[in-house]
Amino acid sequence: MKLFYSPGACSVGIHILLEEIGKPFTLELVSLKDQAQHAPGFKALNPKGKIPLLERDDGSLLTQYTAMAYWLAAANPEAGLWPAGLEAQTRALEFVDYITGTVHPQGFTRQFRAGYFTPSEADQPKVVEQGKALATGYFEVIDRQWQGDTWVMPEGYGIADSALFFVEFWAIKRVGLPVAPRITAHYQAMLARPAVQRALAASGVTA
């Protein structure tokens, strides 16, 4: 397998899952800061111009974070990343979709790419502040609806945790956003996992 990634981006969540699974994979850098996701060579692979992108062993390509996380976990049940039972599986996907479809774009893309949300450069600081306020509210929702103990889901560690990690990393390390003690504890528990340590080290990210 090959993961197309950018350091510190949401691709780290998929990188963590690959490390947890333990099967061979390689990394291909697609630097978001250099706009490499829009380069013709990459767009030929993923016309959506987004990372992460996962090339499977048969050469087929998977886009969209939730689809990759589901496939990796479901195709590798021995890794214990995918809960048993329809209800638990549905709740795990519900959580990952909230992170990738709401928390990420509305809470953090507004902060990191304010120009995407307004044609006026003068209005960009307002967009950033709006992103911070939204992210704060989203983390409050996550805290109130927390179902597990150390890990997000009561069934234990899985794809929901790797998804939460990349946004809590942004909140805690990149923008200094206050989060609830439970989320800080989750972040620290993630940092203690060897798979997370390997993923961060491989991309040169300090947490």
Nearest one of 2, 27, 16, 1 to 164, comparing CA atoms: 16
Peptide bond into 52 cis (omega under 30): yes
What is the structure's pLDDT at 165?
Answer: 98
What is the structure's pLDDT at 206?
Answer: 87
Cβ neighbors of 3 (< 8 A, separation 6 or more) are 11, 14, 15, 18, 25, 26, 27, 28, 52, 53, 54, 55
Architecture of the structural domain at 86-193: Up-down Bundle (1.20)
Name the fold adopted by 2-80.
Answer: Glutaredoxin (3.40.30)
Q: What is the DSSP-derived secondary structure letter of residue 36?
A: G
What is the structure's pLDDT at 207?
Answer: 79
Q: Where are the domains of the chain?
A: 2-80, 86-193
Torsion sign, CA atoms 184, 15, 193, 173: negative
Task: Judge contact between 110 and 117, C-beta under 8 A.
Answer: yes
Cβ neighbors of 95 (< 8 A, separation 6 or more) are 152, 153, 160, 163, 164
What is the structure's pLDDT at 97?
Answer: 98
Sequential pLDDT tens for the chain (207 residues): 999 999 999 999 999 999 999 999 999 999 999 999 999 999 999 999 999 999 999 999 999 999 999 999 999 999 999 999 999 999 999 999 999 999 999 999 999 999 999 999 999 999 999 999 999 999 999 999 999 999 999 999 999 999 999 999 999 999 999 999 999 999 999 999 999 999 999 999 987
